[in-house]
Structure 1
């Protein structure tokens, strides 16, 4: 067997080989001899089956097994020659050429390996992180909001018009083309103004009405309204206000703190403020991390490191992007692409830059995770998917199986690792 190797860079290599007929025949003899020891062929005792009978019985399978063994042998020899450890291979070797000739088989194999990444002083690239400042006014506003959400509605006795945030106790009846429609009538209905619960424009016209007022409100049902019979139709609603209700006034004191910190009989307003301040800081930090710090830090790493990328991984990423794009195209656009291979090729090429960035980011995160000793095991991945599915009211087992069948689990796992790596690096820099 003649083997020529070409280590293109730290992530890509190519192997060319000429597998001789003699190599194939020799492998056939070895495999047939092994099979003959256990083969059960009519007319022969176990262990006494001649090779000729084995070859006749197994025929093409012997040839296929012999060729597969030759491929494994050439790959092993080529990796040793290039000093590439088998456990650094990414994916299966790609058979780019497999041509049978009278003298044997001409083979070309493309392999990808985990690229070498010199992280250097990566910690120096992580910026200092300052906790967001939460002022007293923000704390007070949040406490008032939380307390108000729990406060009961009470009738407003003063003679004033409805304002946004009030709840109107009202009767209404809707008409389209002068005819009342099903589901368009209610009595003693409580509507919080500003909630967006009703058709656009309805609540705006209720604002300003007073207790006892009657009014006809003109609106138009949205085009995407759930009921097809009403979608896009102009309508009129006869409305009568019976009462104006508002949330009971809240007093910020120790008694409120005891209500909002159940189980703590010694709770004080100051303790409540401290708890709320911590919550606001956590929320603000989460927004800052996800919207600013993490994306910026990842971009810093991607820009700073120069690494070799496995070509076939980039190509796979481009294919996925192209398929995703195709799902958003109309049938007419798809038909146009089917008849224009060059247009498909050009469209696919537009995804190369993003694909390279995504692949590069994945390997950088992998290297950083190893440096920081961060892992996400299968059990943790399972628990995370189950928890999020339950939060969404979905069947956890069905969601997990969908991700598994679609091949999404590795991507989800890597996303969790990336989030954990970036969070740790940033947390270590909090002032």
Structure 2
């Protein structure tokens, strides 16, 4: 292997021209022949026994070139990248320049870790909300407790909206009952929209024991057998029930909580709402700080680096779906999405994650942040406890260098956030709005989990 040229390209890419000499290529061609000859039939020879020259005479001198090239170029590429001291961060694009008995030459477009010019990373100002909890907020927090304690009570009056009518019903199409149109003692909450339009409205005003025929026309977008049809439902109301909420007092508080008084219960709910909103406000503040850090840096990110992160997001999402018993193929069918559409939807989040990782790495470099062996071991133990695994299992699944890198980024993030100030957002002209800012709304926080080691992939070149 010999690197004959190194040329810097745009967006943090480098083009290497790599030459494989005749001896190395000949060895690869011979290896390809030995591997393939068993599947090649040649008249006059038993299968797998035909000499290489005979096969090349029949199919051309380059019959084994493609397999030989695909065998040689990955290791040649890795060796060339190492020799040139390049920090490759994406999948290389390969192009065969020439190939023959003298060997072959190929070009590799390498995505390299880009240079980052940090802006301000200490003392970033970002907006932070100070939650103000009102009595109305506490009322909203209490609603689920009231709803769970609410009872349905039978009443002897006409049904009104909000009541629950217990009904028997049967639907007829031109006098003939249709499938799925019958029910007995069905609890129908009037106004819920659970039945087709016009049905619930005609129940309102009926009393227990009353029967009635309802004229109903199914919507045009209903399922094929009944779409747009005019039918009749015969309905009998067996019972009318109304919701009776409990009195919200000290007795109520005792029934639904560990508190003796309503005042103490409300104070506890207020404290919980306050904590939750403060946590959300802090999370929003930290996200805004990271957005500002990314927005203020200068960096040309290679597309290949983003594609690698898209692959990681796809792998992680597939694992989460699998944990729910759903395959990625089935998910895409349910959502009406193609793999390309799914990758496109993930790209903004992948870009944001790459930008944040580059910015925090630059901060860690600037501050000379390092991770000690004690900190690394403590993190292995924490992950083991979190996922119910043994430490040795976590170490087998998570490369130490990857975990050390993550911890270093967390240190950088903690430093930036600790130095940040709550205040008004930094104003930017709309024309200068970055792709990172647009991507922020798309990103959902990923669950922390042990990472798996991933192999690099390349675009396989084809022999001419």
Shorter-normalised TM range: 0.5 to 0.7
Task: Give 1:175 shift.
Answer: 1.7
Counterparts of 1:121-160 in structure 2, within 5 Å, are 121-122=120-121, 124-125=123-124, 127-157=126-156, 159=157
Aligned equivalent of 2:265: 272
Post-superposition Cα deviations, 1:12-71, rounded to whole Å, max 9, x if no partner, equal: 11112444436757x88xx99xxxxxxxxxxxxxxxxxxxxxx99xx9999988996687
Aligned equivalent of 1:115: 114
Distance in 2, matches of 1:24 and 1:96, equals 17
Distance in 2, matches of 1:110 and 1:232, equals 60
After TM superposition, the structure 1 stretch with the greater mean CA deviation from structure 2, 236-245 or 60-69, is: 60-69
Q: Secondary structure at the match of 1:169?
A: strand
Instruction: Say if 1:352 and 1:298 are closer, same or farther in 2 by CA, change over 3 A.
Output: farther
Note if contact 1:156-1:244 (Cα within 8 Å) is conserved in structure 2. Answer: yes
Aligned equivalent of 1:247: 243
Instruction: Say if 1:74 and 1:365 are closer, same or farther in 2 by CA, change over 3 A.
Output: closer
Task: Give 1:154 shift.
Answer: 0.8
Aligned equivalent of 2:458: none
Note if contact 2:119-2:293 (Cα within 8 Å) is conserved in structure 1. Answer: no
Whether 1:362 and 2:320 are equivalent positions in the alignment is no
Aligned equivalent of 2:231: 235
Task: Give 1:112 shift.
Answer: 1.2
Instruction: Say if 1:131 and 1:20 are closer, same or farther in 2 by CA, change over 3 A.
Output: same
Instruction: Say if 1:355 and 1:252 are closer, same or farther in 2 by CA, change over 3 A.
Output: closer
Q: Secondary structure at the match of 2:191?
A: coil
Aligned equivalent of 1:5: 6
Structure 1 unmatched ranges of 5 or more:
33-54, 329-333, 335-347, 385-413
Instruction: Say if 1:175 and 1:196 are closer, same or farther in 2 by CA, change over 3 A.
Output: same
Instruction: Say if 1:235 and 1:318 are closer, same or farther in 2 by CA, change over 3 A.
Output: same
Instruction: Say if 1:194 and 1:282 are closer, same or farther in 2 by CA, change over 3 A.
Output: farther
After TM superposition, the structure 1 stretch with the greater mean CA deviation from structure 2, 71-80 or 229-238, is: 71-80
Distance in 1, matches of 2:67 and 2:187, equals 77
After TM superposition, the score normalised by the length of structure 2 is 0.54
Task: Give 1:364 shift.
Answer: 1.5
Q: Secondary structure at the match of 1:200?
A: coil
Instruction: Say if 1:14 and 1:430 are closer, same or farther in 2 by CA, change over 3 A.
Output: same
Note if contact 1:3-1:78 (Cα within 8 Å) is conserved in structure 2. Answer: no
Distance in 1, matches of 2:343 and 2:234, equals 59
CA RMSD of aligned residues (A): 5.4
Distance in 1, matches of 2:129 and 2:228, equals 51
Task: Give 1:281 shift.
Answer: 5.1
Distance in 2, matches of 1:221 and 1:297, equals 53
Distance in 1, matches of 2:269 and 2:295, equals 39
Counterparts of 1:169-248 in structure 2, within 5 Å, are 169-211=166-208, 213-223=210-220, 225=222, 228-248=224-244
Task: Give 1:251 shift.
Answer: 1.0
Aligned equivalent of 2:49: none
Aligned equivalent of 2:302: 310
After TM superposition, the score normalised by the length of structure 1 is 0.57
Distance in 2, matches of 1:65 and 1:233, equals 68
Instruction: Say if 1:180 and 1:369 are closer, same or farther in 2 by CA, change over 3 A.
Output: farther
Distance in 2, matches of 1:79 and 1:165, equals 73
Q: Secondary structure at the match of 1:250?
A: coil
Distance in 1, matches of 2:77 and 2:180, equals 75
